Amino acid sequence: MSAPKVGILMGSVSDLGVMQEASKILEDFGVPYDMRVLSAHRSPSLTQDFAQEAEGRGIQVLIAGAGAAAHLAGVLAAHTILPVIGIPIDSSPLKGLDALLATVQMPGGVPVSTMAIGKAGARNAGLVAVQILSRSDTGLQDKLRAYKAAQQKKIESIQL
């Protein structure tokens, strides 16, 4: 198996159903990834270690999903220069609005590129990771063009 180029992290195994939308995209584009449960609150030192070691392992992008008081993406961003894409997960009574604000409202200097709440956000996180990697990979550029063309074809084929 090839070395992972993307890290997919989630705060709890209960986030897996959402985060698999990101991993499916990476599989479709043939991008190797390392997917793990890492909690900013429940396993802070493991989270820090992962963030600090990721770049040296050849990982180029981190995708992090968490719900409620969602600090995972921000904590990862604090410990790495890799781009971090955050996904707010709708796992709390506030249906992800809490996670959205916690993920998107990073203080200046520590960016987290925040996607939409839930599955659409996870899917788009996978696509943004592919877009970042595609800047130095023409094969991925071709696959992204084909992905866009397929979406357009689907719309064109709708007959009401």
- Among positions 5, 6, 8, 11, the unique one binding ligand RP5 when judged by CB under 6 A: 11
Footprint on residues 73-132 left by ligand RP5 (CB under 6 A): 89, 91
- C-alpha 23/C-alpha 20 separation (Å) is 5
Structure tokens at 15: 């986030």
Is residue 104 within a helix (H) or strand (E), and if so which, with residue range? helix 97-104
Locate tokens 């809490």: which residue? 98
Structure tokens at 53: 């070691």
Q: Which of 51, 62, 66, 132 binds ligand RP5 (CB under 6 A)?
A: 66
State which amino acid sits at residue 55: E
User: Backbone phi, then psi, for 74, in 5-degree steps?
Assistant: -65, -40
Number of H helices, E strands in the chain: 6, 5
Supply 121's token pair: 């956000």
- Least separation in angstroms between residue 58's CB and ligand RP5 is 26
Residue 36 beta carbon to ligand RP5: minimum distance, rounded to whole angstroms: 13
Nearer of residues 80 and 91 to ligand RP5, judged by Cβ? 91
As a whole number of angstroms, the distance between CA 64 and CA 86 comes to 5
Tell the smallest beta-carbon distance from residue 72 to ligand RP5 (Å). Answer: 7
Please identify, using beta-carbon distances, which residue of 67 and 126 lies nearer to ligand RP5.
67
| Subset of 27-46 contacting ligand RP5 (CB under 6 A) | 39
> Among 4, 7, 67, 118, which residue interacts with ligand RP5 (rule: CB under 6 A)?
67
Q: Which residues bind ligand RP5 (CB under 6 A)?
A: 11-12, 14-15, 39, 66-68, 89, 91
